[in-house]
Structure 1
């Protein structure tokens, strides 16, 4: 039996904007500041990549980016291609997030939570797999914030700005 995989649903701008809202909130909670917009372009494809989902097992908010990468070096294989291949999806998610007030971009190019936060009850209505994706992007928000600068995050992952 063939299993259907709904790429359209996974790349829906509203869904992706909600994920980015979760990422931004987690980053801000950990660091007290907003993430640079470029971090969204790394976080969303990492969270959405089904083949990377098992790498989040046995991790939590305190694990840290470097430890996660050390435990699962497979993450960095074709990571640049994964990020580059999702540029349009992330851009549409950011646009949708700004238009719907989930996100706001400040004059420094940082993404802030918008006036309308991601509803708290949203996650409870989702499948377990989708809830896990929200948990994973929350972890990425904390890990990216703990890592320090945007340049440090990209260097840890072997990416160039």
Structure 2
């Protein structure tokens, strides 16, 4: 039996916008400042990458970015390629999130929760695998918020701004 993998569904702008809204909410829960838009370009591909899913096992919102990277150094292998390869997907997700009022972009280039937040039980209606992706991006939001500045977070991941 061959199992089909639906890349189109995973890269759907509406789905990715919901993930980004979850990311922003998690980031705000740990930081008084909204996340820089550039952090989304790292967070979304990390959360969506099926090959990295197991790296989130035995983690929670308190694990921290540096500890997660230390436990799974393979995350950083070709991370820049992964991020660069998903630029269009993330950009479309941000556009969709702004058009649907899930998110807005402030004058400093930070993402802000919009006037139409996701319902609290939104992720619960999806498959277990999809719920895990929502949990993972929630964790990334917390970890990146606690990492310090955007530059510090990118440095930890071996990425350049």
TM exceeding 0.5 = yes
TM-score (norm 2): 0.99
Residue 78 of structure 1 pairs with residue 115 of structure 2: no
Measured in 2, the distance between the counterparts of 1:68 and 1:126 equals 26
What runs of 5+ residues in structure 2 fail to find an aligned partner? none
2:145 aligned residue: 145
Structural mapping, 1:106-145, within 5 Å:
106-145=106-145
Deviation (angstroms), 1:123: 1.1
Deviation (angstroms), 1:115: 0.5
Deviation (angstroms), 1:49: 0.1
Which ranges of 4 or more aligned residues in structure 1 deviate by more than 6 Å? none
Structural mapping, 1:8-157, within 5 Å:
8-157=8-157
TM-score (norm 1): 0.99
Q: Secondary structure at the match of 1:97?
A: helix
TM-superposition CA deviations, 1:124-150 (whole Å, max 9, x none): 110000000000000000000000000
Q: Secondary structure at the match of 1:15?
A: helix
Which piece of structure 1 moves more, 138-147 or 121-130?
A: 121-130
Deviation (angstroms), 1:85: 0.2
Q: How many residues matched?
A: 161
What runs of 5+ residues in structure 1 fail to find an aligned partner? none
Measured in 1, the distance between the counterparts of 2:73 and 2:58 equals 15
